[in-house]
């Protein structure tokens, strides 16, 4: 890739990140993510409450995180292409010396960076649990980092789904709803289908098509190549679908 084109991709990526961070919505979305997780981990008297149940782990964060991501990530991605279509600037972007795939990747990685931004403050929870352990540091650090990697892969998959949903419409609200529904289906939809036991010996295969099975394996601290390949494949499929969606405007 020529250096000039790479710089243009970085410029587009920075534009997407800065426009989100410089807006009130950006701070609200990240604050809600941290607030919801914080309440379930430290305040509400549920099994996820670390202080009430006395276990030095962050299982509650990794159990709750995907469901919060179902709303957080569509809020991040809903404007990526929908706003460009609505304002008529999509064609302007596409006339620049960037291919459709390069524009998609720039927006995708912008979304991924914002997901990382939302996760970084949760390291405070890890530090708190580390300090509260008896003795201090009595926490499965390896399993915790494995869970973070799993949550990052899950977030990366939701971003790809969200970018695709945004390419389908010029209405950010519709984009948000589509992304949330698609992400929810890929996270838990196959679990419901699997439990129906309609497919006989293929039930287990149906289960492995969903994100939940692979995320659960990573949340146990086990980084299996098959799970990594699954997430990368899912991301690749939705990025390709986004490209097809954008190309369809020429048909």
Lowest mean pLDDT among 62-71, 92-101, 143-152: 92-101
Residue 246 or 38, more confident: 246
* pLDDT-based confidence at residue 101 (cuts at 50, 70, 90): confident
pLDDT at residue 156 in the model: 95
Based on the structure, what is the number of domains in the chain?
Answer: 1
Residue 236 or 6, more confident: 236
182-204 average pLDDT score: 78
pLDDT at residue 154 in the model: 93
Contacts of 179 (CB under 8 A, 6+ apart): 73, 74, 77, 78, 158, 161, 162, 164, 165, 166
Report CA-CA distances (Å) from 185 to 192, 223, 246: 9, 23, 23
Nearest CA to 214 out of 228, 195, 199 is that of 228
pLDDT at residue 8 in the model: 72
Average pLDDT, the chain: 81
2-30 average pLDDT score: 75
Report CA-CA distances (Å) from 145 to 106, 126, 217, 240: 27, 10, 13, 30
pLDDT at residue 133 in the model: 65
Nearest CA to 152 out of 39, 65, 36 is that of 65
pLDDT at residue 189 in the model: 84
Q: pLDDT digits over 102-141, tens only?
A: 888 888 998 898 888 888 888 888 887 777 766 676 677 7
Nearest CA to 108 out of 139, 84, 73 is that of 73
pLDDT at residue 159 in the model: 95
Given a cut of 70, whether residue 45 has pLDDT beyond it is no
Q: pLDDT digits over 143-191, tens only?
A: 778 888 989 999 999 999 999 999 998 888 999 999 999 999 999 887 7
Lowest mean pLDDT among 28-37, 136-145, 203-212: 136-145
* pLDDT-based confidence at residue 232 (cuts at 50, 70, 90): very high
* Full residue range of the structural domain in which residue 35 is found: 3-250
Residue with tokens 């390291």: 123
Query: Model-level pTM?
Result: 0.88
Residue 89 or 109, more confident: 109
């Amino acid at each position: 890739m020529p250096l000039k084109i790479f710089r243009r991709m970085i410029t587009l990526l920075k534009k997407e990140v800065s426009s989100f961070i410089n807006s009130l919505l950006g701070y609200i979305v990240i604050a809600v993510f941290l607030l919801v997780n914080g309440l379930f981990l430290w305040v509400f008297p549920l099994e996820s409450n670390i202080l009430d149940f006395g276990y030095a782990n962050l299982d509650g964060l990794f159990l709750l995180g995907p469901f919060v991501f179902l709303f957080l990530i569509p809020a991040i991605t809903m404007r990526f292409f929908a706003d460009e279509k609505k304002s008529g600037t999509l064609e302007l972007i596409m006339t620049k010396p960037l291919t459709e795939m390069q524009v998609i990747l720039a927006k995708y990685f912008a979304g991924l960076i914002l997901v990382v931004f939302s996760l970084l403050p949760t390291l405070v929870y890890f530090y708190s649990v580390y300090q509260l352990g008896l003795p201090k540091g009595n926490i499965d650090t390896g399993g915790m980092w494995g869970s973070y990697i799993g949550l990052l892969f899950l977030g990366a998959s939701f971003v790809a789904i969200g970018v695709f949903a945004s390419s389908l419409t010029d209405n950010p609200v519709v984009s948000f709803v589509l992304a949330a529904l698609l992400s929810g289906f890929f996270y838990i939809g196959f679990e419901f289908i699997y439990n129906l036991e309609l497919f006989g010996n293929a039930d287990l295969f149906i289960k492995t098509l969903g994100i939940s099975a692979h995320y659960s394996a990573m949340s146990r601290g086990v980084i299996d190549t098959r799970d990594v390949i699954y997430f990368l494949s899912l991301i690749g499929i939705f990025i390709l679908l986004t490209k097809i969606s954008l190309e369809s405007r020429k048909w």
